[in-house]
Structure 1
Amino acid sequence: MNWVQPVRIPADVEQEDRIVGGLTARQVVILGGTGGLLYTAYLIFGDRVPLVVCAAAVLPVGILGILLAIGRRDGVSLDRYLLAAIRHQRSPKSLISTPGNVPPPPPWVAARPCRRPAPLRLPARGVIGDGLIDLGPDGVAAVAEVSTVSFALRTPDEQDALVAVFGRWLNSLSGPAQILVRAERVDLTETISTLVGNARELPHPALTAAAHEHAAFLADISARHDLLRRQVLLIIREPSAKGSDAAVARALRRLEEAGRLLSVCGLTVRLLDARAANALLTSCFDPAAPSIPDAEFATQDEVVTRGEHR
C-alpha cells in the first residue's frame, strides 16, 4: 500500500521559497546583482586604482547589498521597505475628493509654490441597495457578518466534520472571497443606561442593588480599559462586466450559498444592511472615532439637510 507523504505547511503561507543555500530568489538576485556590479567595477578600475582605495570604495556597496538582501524591518524586507519609503516620499500628501483632476490655482492667487493636491481615489464608491458596496469598475462587494464556533472544544470527529464542511465551501467558490477578522471598540454606555433604568422595576431591593453594582462594575471597566470585540466578516466580490444589476444578483446568490453551506457548521451568515455597511466603512477609515448613531445616517434616497442650531 502506498502512503502519501505528508507535507508540512508553514504558518506563514506567504513565505517565499528558498532555492539556494537558504536564500530566496529575491535575495539571490540582489546578492548576484551586487556581486556582478562590484566585479565589473574591479575589472574597470582594478588596474588604475590602488587595491586599498578600491576596497574602501566597494565595501559600503557590498554591505548595502547584503543588508538589502537579508535585512528586515517590521517583517518587511529592506529592499521593499526602501521602495515603499521612496514611493511614499514621491506621492502627494494632500488629497481631496474630486471626480477628476485637480485644476491649477488661478494666476491671480498670491500663493507660495507648492505641490498641487491630488484627487482622492478610494476603492469604494458608496453603498448601494441591499447593503452592497459599489467598487466602481471593480464590481460590487457583499459584506456579511459570520458567527463563530469553538473548534478546540469539539471532539476529533466533530473537528474533522467542520474542516470537511469548510473545505467543501472553499471548493465551491466561483469568484473572489475574503475572510476578515477585525477588532472593534465596544461602547457599554447604552447597556449601562438600560441596566440602571430597568433596575428600578425589579421586584426586590437586593436585585436592584445587584443591578446597580453590576452597572458600576461595567462603568469601571469601560473607564480603565479599551474594550474590544472580535468581528468576523465574509466579503464576496463580483465584477460588473455584465452590468451592476447582474453583479449584485450574483454576489447575493453566492452569499446565500455560503450561508447554506456554513450553516451545517452552526455558523450564521448575516448580510449587512446599508446602515451597517456605512458604519463599517466609517470605522475602517477612522477606527479611533466614536461610533455614529444610526439615526444620523442618511439613506440612499434621503435628502441631507442642515441640522438645527442649538
Structure 2
Amino acid sequence: MRHASREQLVAKIPADVEMPDKLFANLTVRQVAILAGTGVLAAWVYLMAGDRLPVPVLVAIVLPMIACGCALALGRRDGLSLDRLVLHAFTHLRRDRKLVSAEEGVLPPPAWCRVRGRLPGALRLPVRAIREDGVLELAEGGTAAVVRAGTVAFGLRTSEEQAALVGVFAGWLNSLDSPVQILLQARPVDLSALAGVINDEAGNLADPALEQAARRHAEFLTDLSATRDLLTRDVLIVVRHQDAEQPPGWARRARRTARRDSSAAIVTRRAEETVRFLLGLGVHASIVDADQARDLLVRSLSPRHPEPVGVARPEEPITLGEETR
C-alpha cells in the first residue's frame, strides 16, 4: 500500500525534448566532429614526429591530446557538455569586468590621452522596455510576462490530493511549447519602518493596555530585525515568446510595432493560461503589472541592498519639495 501511494505521485515528463539528433554510435554531430578532429590532429603529430622523437615522448604528447578531445566530446557538467562549457568560460573571460550605463556605447579616448588598463564596457540590460500591461520587451527580441505565484501545503494533503496536484502540474508542464523559468527569489526584509509606524500610532490608542501591547510589539520587531537575517520569498514564473525572424530594411521598421503588439498578446495569453493552471492546483497566482515588474527588476539588479525609495517611472516628472509643518 505504501508503494502504491508512491506510484500515484509519479508523472512522466518528456526530458531532453531539444536533444540533438544522433549521427553515429549514439554520438551527436558535435561529438563526432570533436573526436574526428582530435584523431586527425593526433595522427598528424604522429606522422610528423614519429621518426624524430622517442616513443615515450610521443606518447606523452599524443595521449593527453586524445584524453582532452574525448573529455570535451563525451564529458558533461551540470547538464552542459564540456565543449560548450569551455566556450562559455572563454567568452566570459573576454568580457569587460566593469560596465557602465551608456546607450550609445563607450567612446574611445582621444589620441593624445593615454589610458591605463581597459575601458569599461557598455551595460546592456536584458529588458528593453516595460509595457503598460506589465509585459517586458526583451533586448534580444521577443517579450516576457511574469506571474507571481503562492505556495501550497503539499505535505498536509492526502495521498489522493497529492496525486491530483502532481497530475495537474504535470499537465501544465506537458502543455508548454515555449521557454518558461520558475524562479524562487529571496530578498532581505527590514522591519524597522514597520516598528516605527506601530510605535508612532501607539499613542493614539484609547486603551493604555493596547498602547503598551503595541509598544512591546514594536520592540519585538526591532529586536527581531537587529538579531536575525529576515528574508521574504517570491515564487515567480516567467513565460516568454520569441519573435519570428525580422524582415530586412523598411519592412522591418514598418511592422515593428505590430510585431511587438502581437508578441505581447501571445505572451499575455500564455501567462493567463499559467494562472488558470495554478488556480487548479489551489495556488493563488496573478500577472504582475508595470509597477510590480519595475520593482522586481530593481530588486533583481540589487538583491542584497534595500530598494530605493521614491523611484519615479520614466514618464513621471521628478520634483523636490520640502515638508511643511
Q: Does TM, normalized by the shorter one, top 0.5?
A: yes
Cα offset, 1:34, TM superposition? 5.0
Worse-matched range after superposition: 258-267 or 54-63: 54-63
Equivalent pair of 1:279/1:292 in contact (CA under 8 Å): no
| 2:45 is the alignment partner of 1:41 | yes
Cα offset, 1:185, TM superposition? 1.6
The equivalent of 2:166 in structure 1 is 163
Cα offset, 1:231, TM superposition? 0.8
Question: Aligned pair in 2 of structure 1 residues 289, 269: CA closer, same or farther (>3 Å)?
Answer: same
The equivalent of 1:290 in structure 2 is 306
Q: Distance in 1 between matches of 2:28 and 2:155?
A: 35
Trace 1:1-310 onto structure 2 (pairs within 5 A). 37-58=41-62, 61=65, 80-107=84-111, 109-112=112-115, 115-136=118-139, 138-173=141-176, 175-201=178-204, 207-239=210-242, 242-293=258-309, 296-305=310-319
Q: Distance in 2 between matches of 1:49 and 1:149?
A: 69
Question: Aligned pair in 2 of structure 1 residues 50, 136: CA closer, same or farther (>3 Å)?
Answer: closer
Q: Distance in 1 between matches of 2:267 and 2:70?
A: 48
Question: Aligned pair in 2 of structure 1 residues 7, 284: CA closer, same or farther (>3 Å)?
Answer: closer
Q: Distance in 1 between matches of 2:93 and 2:211?
A: 60
The equivalent of 1:3 in structure 2 is none
Worse-matched range after superposition: 190-199 or 154-163: 190-199
SS at match of 2:163: helix
SS at match of 1:236: strand
Q: Which amino acid aligns with 1:299?
A: R
What runs of 5+ residues in structure 2 fail to find an aligned partner? 1-9, 245-257
SS at match of 2:283: coil
Question: Aligned pair in 2 of structure 1 residues 61, 237: CA closer, same or farther (>3 Å)?
Answer: closer
Q: Distance in 2 between matches of 1:217 and 1:74?
A: 44
Number of aligned residues: 300
TM-score (structure 2 length as normaliser)? 0.71
Question: Aligned pair in 2 of structure 1 residues 70, 43: CA closer, same or farther (>3 Å)?
Answer: same
Deviations 1:192-248 (A, max 9, x none): 223334444556655544443443333233223321122111223234564323333
Q: Distance in 1 between matches of 2:130 and 2:95?
A: 28
Q: Distance in 1 between matches of 2:143 and 2:41?
A: 48
Q: Distance in 2 between matches of 1:132 and 1:166?
A: 24
TM-score (structure 1 length as normaliser)? 0.74
Q: Distance in 2 between matches of 1:9 and 1:140?
A: 26
Equivalent pair of 1:179/1:235 in contact (CA under 8 Å): yes
Cα offset, 1:136, TM superposition? 4.4
Cα offset, 1:154, TM superposition? 0.8
